[in-house]
Structure 1
């Protein structure tokens, strides 16, 4: 299974925020640290904020910070949110059409694999993968 860069950026940003839950991180700071697009990261942070995973503040001292404790944020929930509308195969899309669907033996197996993948992520929280506060200069 391959995750989108949207999810990758979101997970990395949240891992960084979990390393210092008492402070706000600017998207510029996180983007520069990880060498990722600020524009793309802004979109990720907006989605996370809309769903309560982060809170944001504008102005001096502003930025994004965790919206709830890291131990309450389940990784499977994050991946489901960030991968929303990203089917692993075309036939999983609501309007996905495939000429072999009536006889396909692959779709059910892929669905089971996806379910197992997310079930494994449901066993861990953001606290389990938080970056150490001292890693930021080494990343």
Structure 2
């Protein structure tokens, strides 16, 4: 299971915002993209998803931008994964297994579940604050 760029960029953006000395400061997406080295247009879409999920407080217009909507120690990696539609599925991706024996596909699925449970637990217990200054 590899996480998408959207999830990774979301994590990076939130860690950067959480690390800001002024927690009340609103960051414009272009400014945040420049600071983090992330692509501006892609980051803008991710920030919108994070705001829709309630992880960011977003304001338009003069003095607008984004900031954390909740403290970093309350934002779990699973929240970011949910906002970017990146939670691990019930079944492993088996697109490359089309035409493979059913027992092979079933074996993959059976072995996937403990990994998935562990991954979900990690995402649910790790916060943005845990990743700061690491």
TM-score norm. by structure 2 comes to 0.79
Give the unaligned 5+ runs of structure 1: 133-139
More displaced stretch, 21-30 vs 98-107: 98-107
Shift of 1:102: 4.2
1:90 to 90, 93, 114: 93
- Aligned-CA RMSD value: 2.6
2:7 alignment counterpart: 7
Provide the secondary structure at the position in 2 that maps to 1:90. Answer: coil
What are the within-5 Å matches in structure 2 for residues 1-139 of structure 1?
A: 1-20=1-20, 21-84=23-86, 89-91=92-94, 98-100=98-100, 102-103=102-103, 104-131=106-133
CA distance in 1, matches of 2:44, 2:62: 17
TM-score norm. by structure 1 comes to 0.77
Shift of 1:19: 1.4
CA distance in 1, matches of 2:81, 2:117: 12
1:137 alignment counterpart: none
Shift of 1:131: 4.9
CA distance in 2, matches of 1:60, 1:29: 14
Give the unaligned 5+ runs of structure 2: none
